Each structure stands twice: as C-alpha cells, then as structure tokens.
Amino acid sequence: MGYFSYLYYYDWTYLVLMIPCILLSLFAQMKVNSAYSKYSKISNSRNMTGAQAAEYLLRANGVTGVQIQRVSGRLNDHFDPRTNVIRLSDEVYNSSTIAAVGIACHEAGHAVQHAEGYLPNKIRSAILPVANIGSKVSWLLIVLGLVSSMFQPLLYIGIIFFSASVLFTIATLPVEFNASSRALACIRNNNLLTDQEYKGAKSTLQAAAMTYVAATATAVMQLLRLIMLADRRR
C-alpha cells in the first residue's frame, strides 16, 4: 500500500483537483454547522414543531399515508421511500425552532416528490442499485489496477463502477434543491414563519445544499483524476 499511497496521493493532480474540493467541503460543513447552530436556538412565532410542519406540508400537497417518526441522533433527518416514512431527529421532531421547521419541511418535500413521481427522483432511484455496487467494489479494482500493470484492466473497470457512484451524486443535486424549494414555498405561501424567520430557514437549507454541491464537485474531480492517472499508466 505504500507504493499505492505514493502513486495515488502525491502528485500534482491531487493538489490541483482535490485540495480545492477538500477546502470547499470544509467550508460547506462549517456553514451548515453555523446556520444550524444559530437557527436551532431560535423559536418560531407560531410555536410549530418540526413534526407539525412536515404534516402541514404533506396535507397542503394532498399526500397521505406517510408516517412521521422520531429517531435519535443529530442532523440525520431523512425520508425513506421504501417504507414511506419521514424520520426526524430529536432536535427537529418536537422542536419549535426555525431550523426544525425548515429541515422538517425539506424532508416532507422528498415525500411529496415520491408521491408525485418526480422524474429526477425516479432517475436517482434507478441509478442507486448500480451506485451501491460501484461504491463497494470500485476502489478494490482501482487499487489493484494502480499497484500492478498486470491488473491494469481492473483499473478501467473500477473507474466505470466509480462513475456510477458519481452519476448518482450528480442526480442527487436536483432532487435536494427541489425538496428545499418545495419546503420554502410552503413556508412562505402559508405563513408558517414570519419573513425574518423565513430567511433563517432559507439560510439553513441553503447551507445544507452547499454540502451536496461540495460532495458532487469532489466526486467529479475524483473521477477526473482517476481517468488522468489511468491515462498516465497506459
């Protein structure tokens, strides 16, 4: 693995392609932590909890049959399309903060996407099985292909598998942005928050969206770097 570390990490492509992405990811994480820390401490004027906000958005869009459950953890809120369940973390489910309303409505937005058959969401779901396989086997093949010319064909196969993971990451972007747009539209159109509170919820969701942008940039640059390394090995 020492040879692989030298081959893979210590070259100009890492400095030019990956370092900026690492810095972007750190900045995005800092922004989301800052926004969440600020707006998770400010209660909204309607005293609406995250669970209530999610229920409101579902009703406003005519979506039924979706359960809203409380789960332990922090910032692990998500919608599970397999069980049609919105899972909200301890700090969101029963909290009446600005951040809780924004996050809960975002997850409810995913449930609405699922109910309406939102096309980008369908595309993302179709890519998921291949992406899961790619994330599990791609790096093993890539490492073998890089450390020995005898296994070089595996490098290209690994890159193909990794490309599926990158494609999934790209497909995630419009899904996440749309869920936030649905959330903010519902909040504003139904006056769930005041204008000032709305700005806080928007800042929280925009900061979260930046983490997805950073992840996509990192994945794309990683793929480009692998292609360049593979070309160099030929």
Active site residues: 107
Q: CB count, 10 Å around CB of 231? A: 8
Q: Are 213 and 169 in contact (CB under 8 A)?
A: no
Buried b / exposed e over 49-63, threshold 16 CB at 10 Å, is: bbbbbbbbbbebbeb
| Rounded CA separation 158/228 (Å) | 14
Which helix (H) or strand (E) segment is 133 a member of?
helix 119-147
DSSP three-state, residue 139: helix
Question: How many residues make up the chain in this entry?
Answer: 234
